[in-house]
Structure 1
Amino acid sequence: MSAHTTPEEQFGISTVGEAVEAVADSPRGIMLLDGGPAETPLPYRLVSAVARRVATELARLGVEPGDRVALLSTTGARFLLCLYGVWRANAVPVILAPPHRLGDLERLMTDVRRRLDHVGARCVVVADSLAGFLGKRLGDRRPVLTCGQLAAARDDRAPALTALPDDLAYLQFTSGTTGPAKAVAISHRQLLTNAVVCCQRLMLEGERSVHASWAPLYHDLGLMTAVASISARTKLVLQSPEAFLASPDSWVDALSRHRATGTVTPNFAYGLAARSMRQHPRPLDLSALRVCGDGSEPTHAPVVAAFTEEGGRYGLPAEAVTPMYGLAEATLSVSMGSRSEPMSWDHVDRESLTNGGVATVAPPGAPGTRTLAVVGTAVPGVEVAVVDEAGRPLPERHVGEVQVRGPSVMTGYWRDPEATAEVLRDGWLRTGDLGYTTPAGLVVCGRLKDLIIVGGANLYPEDYEYVAGQAEGAGGVCAAFALPEEERMVVAVEAAAGTDAAAAADLAKQVLAALRAELGHAPDRVVVTTRGAIPRTSSGKVQRARCRERYFGGTLPALAEVSR
């Protein structure tokens, strides 16, 4: 295990509450964007002062050190002040995704109540706009407070900082892509140790750095952005995910206007950025960007190529795009690519990978070649291994489960010893991800639980979803899954808005033909469904298991269906 820098050495602090206190004299802060021209500055000295008042009010209301405080709000000034205030109160924040649409309200509220009960939340802090809506549905079991109520507190006689480095810092619910969401328990030491790594790899260096993000704070990527920025005292340009999705152009504009030196986002956002720059030419300057982290979902070569090509016209360095791999159970970062060289790609024979589990090198662009991103080498302090079903290490280019060991691996799942025992063994975290090692670094090629086995061949749903999503008329969201107890596959494709039955039938045939031609093995069925019908997690990841349940339960609306 390689040496790593401690939070005390890097930041001079050992808990997040100490970080909030330490920025009281910082000249920098957070710039909040709403997707338009309006910007709201939030200086760190104000953050520190108001967080003290929030902590004082929480203590007055009975919140004690170690209590879990749930927060439901989109990104905004009051929400950030309350989040930092919870840490300043020596309490433990649990951030839940706010309701975005009312179509499945009953299921959503049932899930929220289950999560609140599971973590034993002392109280719930909600956005002012949601107070009436959520208060009536959640207030029967615990107090419901508003962000505005806490941020308006005037008494700053905050409780003493009593949290210790190994105390619980936060509970992060997993995305729930392959089963019920579980609460990942992370200590202050684990959280800040990973923040050190992120700052080092993303080159967050105080006054010389500006980091831009739209990642939701209920996601591990967004939460780490909030923690690393205040710990390193760097300027943070922060946008809500809703504002970004409503106007992807605004994120690119912010990168230019604020001379951002770094950003981290899922791959799809770089595709939107490339389209923005191509379709709406304007005076941009991306020359300050040093690191554009690409993670949280599979990285596709055409997307990266389009972003670097379009961004290059505005000064984006070719080597800025950097692949990353991580997961909530490891706090966040596990591996990262080079910051000084363009991304590395591994071109492998699809049939060899599918039928033999071996990543045989193949010519780039040739028929039957699969191109995968090399997600770099392990960050300092972390060990990565690829093992077979018996837990034995595999040689290079042999596909197995990725396992991780290091100082930021979770303590366990909150009050779930059985689930913890399934994934933590002898200090190693079983990630559930499939991958292999190369001389250039780790390659992740799928999820163990999502793997589809047909005729003895291992089919990766990510491949089918990506090809299907490129079809003309597709809405971009797809889900590939196996038929229960059968070696057959279904691919569900959301149609673009306004698609009629005839166009949906054409789309289904087009997708089936494309999958047969590009991947060699066509699915048993292609189903075209309405926009928004494929279930996703709060962070936008497709829930294949739930989609399968809807399909076989007859609740997935089908505009068209075709069988091979």
Structure 2
Amino acid sequence: MSRFVDKLITTANDGGRLRGVTTGEPNEAVRTTWAQVHTQARAMAGSLVSRGMARHGAVAVLAAEPAAIGPAVQAVWLAGGSVTMLHQPTPRSDLAVWAEDTLRVLNMIGSKLVLLGAPFDQLAPVLDQHGIGYVLLADLAGGTPLADLVEVDESAPALLQLTSGSTADPKAVRITHGNLLSNITDMAMGARLDPSSDIMVSWLPMFHDMGMVGFYTTPMAMGIELVKVTPVDFLSGPLLWAELISKHHATITAAPNFAYALLGRRLSGVDDPAAYDLSSMRLALNGAEPIDEKAVRAFTDSGARFGLPPECVFPAYGMAEGTLAISFPPPFTGLRLDYIDADALESGRRAVPVSPATPHARSFALLGRPLPGFEARIVDPSGAVRGEREVGEIHIRGAAVTPGYLTVDGPVATQDADGWLATGDLGYIVDGEIVICGRAKDVIILAGRNIYPTDIERAASTVEGVRAGNAVAVRLDAGTRRERFAVVVESKLSGDPDAVKVLRKEIGARVFESVNARPVAIEILPPGTLPKTPSGKLRRAAAGEQLADRLKGA
């Protein structure tokens, strides 16, 4: 068996310790040990093999309940297969379109089997209508435990992680057994994970790499106590997150910017300082997108009343192509910012340090050194390696780097002849630590200046009436001499023409003040309109396409 599967088994049999996973809200919580998860997985693996699942078979999973997903994915690994967590339809989804997109994914990964669990078992008629084969998770539970595990080597795919691009043109990152074990081992070392004392709390979706790898597979492999609810649970009542941290004395959690900002706002409205106890927090990981200092401050300032140590903020760099984590800062050092000269960054691609008090100084989060299994370098457009504080594209190399993608047009390699993967992220290195400036494809080029959309978006978000985390800067006429940019935001004021007029004026002024450039258009949309990935991140390219279409039709 692979070393990754051996790690899962060793943890499950580790002296009968009662570590495991607790799922559901506090009043309805269900606790299961990792040993019990493994026992369930053995039975489900036996059912899969008896139903004809072949070695290296690709299996898709469509379920929301963490208690059901854990045994199912481990069962697939015990049976020698790979797991793909399917993107889930929302109440607003057109199920016919979703089913067609799902068929594209299944054909791409070569899967004829979907493991279907609540609440999506109600979609069985839709899958039948589109000829999608499935098995209900409940029907796998009573199988004869698999006696002989199916052998696979370290290069065998374990997780085919769907990216956050267009669902009509899907792509999956091929994460091998070796990739998983390497990255989990690195993360355990970098975060100083302690199975005897750490407790993780997460509501992150299992179809996202941070939710699946970081906050299910890692605690399952390391034997760390996990408390897991669904994104719907969190979004229905964000203070549930604080309640779970308090009740279980959690030490580790994670989320993107918008969630920390949202929790910070909700905590600020709680009158009783004894309502929650957040003092146990050791690591509050922030990743998946450039770190938003404002969101972090909202979280730490509001959380301080409940004992939250600001040092627990843990800004990291990662991506599915590196399995999950690429760099970690030293634990319990909090948000550390590097202040640089904006002009030197925009015109010379250099990160020249300045005082925080310098007018128009730019700040970026320090994201730590690469984990032990990684190398990182900065490369300019010509392919030359850049030096300290010189901005370019980040390339990574290491044992956790995916060997390739699966696409609708076939496999695509990710590494060059020397093993380097081009991430598409722009950044620089200072004292060995990685700093991210933004995505190369999103940078707006005006008169030789490189303007980063995150600066525009943060400026727009400071205007009262703009929904937090729902502002996007988009390129227009990209790559031409006429390149421009526009700003699209969501606001509850979108239906009030007079309020919209004021909002546009204030956004334009705030953006100009921040980046010394004016947007060619400012669009105010109703809440819930901006296109987002299944994990909740804004899709700049899609927003740009929609805006371009509206401008043409105007």
TM-score, normalised with respect to structure 2: 0.92
Alignment partner of 1:198 is 2:190: no
2:554 aligned with 1:554: no
Q: CA deviation at 1:135?
A: 3.9
The correspondence for 1:222, drawn from 204, 211, 215, is 211
Within-5 A mapping of 1:13-28: 14-16=3-5, 19-20=8-9, 22-24=11-13, 25-28=16-19
Q: 2:406 aligns with which of 409, 414, 430?
A: 414
- Structure 1 residue 321 and structure 2 residue 313: aligned? yes
Shift of 1:22: 4.2
Partner of 1:494: 490
Q: CA deviation at 1:311?
A: 2.6
Partner residue in 2 for 1:542: 538
Q: Is the 8 A contact 1:529 1:557 kept in 2?
A: no
1:423–1:431 contact (8 Å) kept in structure 2: no
- Tell me the equivalent position of 2:250: 260
Does structure 1 retain, via aligned residues, the 8 Å contact 2:99–2:130? no
Give a deviation string over 1:163-188, Cα, whole Å, max 9, x none.
Answer: 22222111111111799442111111
Does residue 30 of structure 1 match 2:21? yes
Alpha-carbon distance in structure 1 between the residues aligned to 2:310 and 2:499 = 39
- Cα pair 1:70 1:94 within 8 Å, conserved: yes
User: Partner of 2:518: helix, strand, or coil?
Assistant: coil
CA distance in 1, matches of 2:463, 2:315: 26
Q: 1 CA distance for matches of 2:297 and 2:280?
A: 19
CA distance in 1, matches of 2:222, 2:90: 32
Distance 1:440 1:252, change over 3 A: farther
**SS of corresponding position for 2:327:** strand
Change over 3 Å in CA distance of 1:556–1:531 after alignment to 2: farther
Q: Which deviates more from structure 2 when the two are superposed, residues 404-413 or residues 40-49?
A: 40-49
Residue pair 1:17, 1:89 contacting (<8 A) in 2 also? no
SS in 2 for 1:368: coil
TM-score by length of 1: 0.90
Per the TM alignment, residue 496 of structure 1 is displaced from its structure 2 partner at its CA by 2.6
Q: What SS class does the counterpart of residue 206 from structure 1 fall into?
A: coil
Matches within 5 A, 1:321-400: 321-400=313-392
2: CA distance between counterparts of 1:218 and 1:142? 19
For residues 474-526 of structure 1, the C-alpha deviation after alignment (integer angstroms, 9 at most, x for no partner) is 12312211113431111111113774333223222221111112221111111
Contact 1:290–1:320 (Cα < 8 Å) also in 2: yes
Seen in structure 2, the aligned counterparts of structure 1 residues 557 and 71 have a Cα distance that, compared at 3 Å, is farther
Distance in 1 between the 2:234 and 2:369 partners?
Answer: 30
More off after superposition, 528-537 vs 328-337: 528-537
State the shift of 1:314 in Å: 2.7
Alignment of 1:128-527 (within 5 A): 128-137=118-127, 140-151=130-141, 153-176=142-165, 180-224=169-213, 225-282=215-272, 283=274, 284-414=276-406, 420-421=412-413, 424-439=416-431, 441-476=433-468, 477-484=470-477, 485=480, 486-496=482-492, 499-527=495-523
The offset of 1:90, in angstroms, is 1.6
Instruction: Specify the code of the residue in structure 2 equivalent to 1:335.
Output: S
SS at match of 2:387: coil
In the superposition, relative to structure 1, how do residues 20 and 422 fare at CA in structure 2: closer, same or farther (>3 Å)? closer
What corresponds to 1:561 in structure 2? Answer: none
Moved more, 22-31 or 428-437: 22-31
Structure 2 residue runs without a partner (length 5+): none
Q: Indicate the SS of the match to 2:354.
A: coil
> 1:238: Cα distance to partner?
0.8
Aligned positions of 1:32-47 closer than 5 A = 32-34=23-25, 37-47=27-37
Structure 1 residues 44, 418: closer, same or farther in 2, change over 3 A? closer
Distance 1:556 1:380 in 2: 50
Query: In the superposition, relative to structure 1, how do residues 422 and 52 fare at CA in structure 2: closer, same or farther (>3 Å)?
Result: closer
Tell me how far apart the structure 1 counterparts of residues 150 and 85 of structure 2 sit (CA, whole Å): 22
AA partner of residue 255 (structure 1): I
The letter of the residue matching 2:5 is V
1:265 Cα deviation (Å)? 1.7
Contact 2:388/2:429 (8 A) holds in 1: yes
| SS state at 1:122 partner | coil
> Alpha carbons of 1:405 and 1:138: their partners in 2 closer, same or farther (altered >3 Å)?
farther
Change in CA separation of 1:281 and 1:30 when aligned onto 2, cut-off 3 Å: farther
Structure-2 residue corresponding to 1:5: none
Q: CA deviation digits over 1:20-44, x for unaligned, max 9?
A: 574143411101124x632121222
1:375-397 superposed Cα distances (whole Å, 9 cap, x missing partner)? 11111121110111122111222
